[in-house]
Amino acid sequence: MSFTYKRTVRFQDTDAAGVVYFANVLAMCHEAYEASLAASGINLKAFFSNPQLAMPIIHATVDFYRPMFVGDRLIIQLTPKQIAGDEFEIAYQVFPEPVAEKSAAKALTKHVCIEAASRTKKQLSEELMKWLRQFEV
């Protein structure tokens, strides 16, 4: 079952034309990712400041279907998927609220688990596997 995150577009999210700046869609998606980790019981401070393991993003894409403006209420649906023992991806659908037939944007991020010091790939942790199982479709 996907994780759902709600957010209102803020002025700081927009460009000079008053439309959400493209990079800020990824920032909003990352907020949804953090919220989903917290919802599954993961301590965010410990997860993101772990001196042994890191989960860097190795690929990101965003497709836009309609503009988003200040004050728009958004629903971000997040669906993670394990790719390999050390990699996962997260698919995001950004919908206007109330949900319309067509999304405002879609995004995808791919992550790899690495040992922080050596930068070598490591297996995903059990707590991350639990998170994947909870929100994977």
Residues with a catalytic annotation lie at 15
The mean pLDDT of 16-23, rounded to a whole number, is 94
Give the C-alpha separation, 28 to 72, whole Å.
13
Residues 102-111, mean pLDDT to the nearest whole number: 96
pLDDT at residue 99, rounded to an integer: 77
Q: Model confidence over 66-98: pLDDT tens digits?
A: 999 999 999 999 999 999 999 999 999 999 998
To the nearest whole number, what is the mean pLDDT of the chain? Answer: 95
Cβ proximity of 61 and 107 under 8 Å:
yes
Q: How far apart are CA 94 and CA 75, in angstroms?
A: 6
The pLDDT of residue 23: 95
- Chain position carrying tokens 């965010």: 44
Distance CA 69, CA 56 (A): 29
Q: Which domains does the chain have, with CATH numbers?
A: 3-135 (3.10.129.10)
pLDDT at 101 over 80: no
| pLDDT at 1 (0 to 100) | 84
Is the pTM here over 0.85, yes or no? yes
Per-residue model confidence (pLDDT) at position 35? 98
| Confidence at residue 89, expressed as pLDDT on a 0 to 100 scale | 98
